[in-house]
Amino acid sequence: MPVQNTSSEALQAYLDTAVALAREVGPAFKDGFWRTGQFASNSDYAAEGKLGNEADCVTAVDRYIEQTIFARLRTIYPKHRFVGEETTAEDGNGYEVTDDPTWIVDPVDGTNNFVHHFPFTGISIGVAINREPVVGVVYLPVLDELYTAARGLGAHLNGKPLPVVRPPALTTPTSLSQCSLVTEHGSDRSAAVIKSRLDSFTRLLLDKEHGGACLQNLRVTGSATSDLTLVAKGVAEMYWECGPHAWDFAAGVVILLEAGGAVFDGAGWWGVDIPECDKSPQPFNLWNRKILAIRHVPDLPGKPGSGRELQRRLAGELLGHVQDIPYSPDGGH
Ligand code: IPD
């Protein structure tokens, strides 16, 4: 479906800009990760707790990359809007969400992984127009994985179409007991939130005789952005989390949707080519701080549309076992 008032050429130009920026800051990212070059000094990378909580950290590299990306973007697109984890989060999320083209950047997603040299960490650059995510670039420099996508232009990993696992190797799961779920424990360590997450994990893992879903695998990578790329790739079936922000998933959502996946934001379904009758009347809400993402599910033989139906059934099964954690939406939206 075309993006209102935005040509494919314009989307391609935004995508090219995002790729060039991700590649430009890639060497600084790797320097920070390995403590070499310009970020060799421990004081440069030392993690600071953002909200008085060491689990929610930021480093000098986060700030350097975000400032570099936004300085370039402000020159190229002076009339666009910019939302970045470090500039915005430190402002108490006090930004306004509008229909204008908005660049949404997480300079280092998975900062805790970054600090601990754990390779699931990367740069996320998304563009939303009319509040809809339409361009996404996720660069995981340590794994040398560059994910790119734009609405109507497909999704790719290092130039190869996603999902990388393709039918017949890409299976058609019919229950959570055949699924891998990636999720996160997040950085909110308040007692009620931790209890809620652990209760959800218990119900997902527990055997069916005791009311659980007997989920086949539960994985935590430490990076919401990486989680979405794993689902887009086809190596995990689902990703679910309450609490991340738009910068954690704006780019990854475009990549997943263009790879045939679907997302649920608490209000309804969204995906490319989902029949209008099944779709949420509103585009996926980037600001709602909740996400359930599911990979492309191939149709059963001779049953067109069954893949989309199974996506909804699996998501429904998941939502029946987990507890929602209410967070105030970002940007007062
Ligand atoms: C965090 C990571 C983490 C997720 C949090 C995010 P950051 O991003 O993606 O996996 O659970 O919700 O805030 O702070 O490392 O950029």
pLDDT of residue 45: 63
Within a 10 A sphere around the Cβ of 35, how many other Cβ atoms? 13
Which of ligand 1's atoms lies nearest the C-alpha of 226? Answer: 9
Query: What is the best residue among 93, 106, 223, 241 to mutate for testing ligand 1's pocket, by most ligand atoms within 8 Å of CB?
Result: 223
Spell out a b/e string for 131-156, using b for 16 or more CB atoms within 10 Å of the CB, else e.
bbbbbbbbbbbbeebbbbbbbebebb
Helix (H, G, I), strand (E, B) or coil at 48: strand
- Does the pLDDT of residue 265 top 80, yes or no? no
For 238, residues 6+ apart whose C-beta sits below 8 A from its C-beta are 179, 180, 181, 182, 231, 292, 293, 294, 295, 314, 315, 318
- Does the pLDDT of residue 323 top 90, yes or no? yes
pLDDT in tens, 275-292: 665 666 677 888 889 999
Do 269 and 278 touch, CB atoms closer than 8 A?
yes
Q: Is 109 annotated as a binding residue?
A: yes
pLDDT in tens, 26-54: 999 999 999 999 898 876 666 666 656 77
State the Cα–Cα distance between residues 149 and 251, nearest whole angstrom.
8
pLDDT of residue 87: 80
* Amino acid present at 29: F
- The residue that leads in pLDDT, 332 or 295, is 295
State the Cα–Cα distance between residues 13 and 215, nearest whole angstrom.
41
State the Cα–Cα distance between residues 204 and 31, nearest whole angstrom.
39
State the Cα–Cα distance between residues 306 and 313, nearest whole angstrom.
10
Domains and CATH numbers, the chain: 3-161 (3.30.540.10), 176-319 (3.40.190.80)
Q: In the structure, what pLDDT confidence band is assigned to residue 181 with cuts at 50, 70 and 90? A: very high
- The residue that leads in pLDDT, 88 or 155, is 155
pLDDT of residue 55: 79
Query: If you measure from the C-alpha of residue 7 to the centroid of ligand 1, how many angstroms do you get, rounded to a whole number?
Result: 32
Give the pocket of ligand 1 (CB within 6 Å). Answer: 85, 106, 109-111, 184, 186-187, 222-224, 241, 243-244, 248
Q: What is the mean pLDDT of the chain?
A: 91
State the Cα–Cα distance between residues 154 and 152, nearest whole angstrom.
6
pLDDT in tens, 52-92: 677 778 899 999 999 999 999 999 999 999 999 888 755 55
pLDDT of residue 186: 92
State the Cα–Cα distance between residues 70 and 262, nearest whole angstrom.
30
Instruction: Kindly report the pTM of this predicted structure.
Output: 0.94
The pair of structure tokens assigned to 226 is: 């990486």
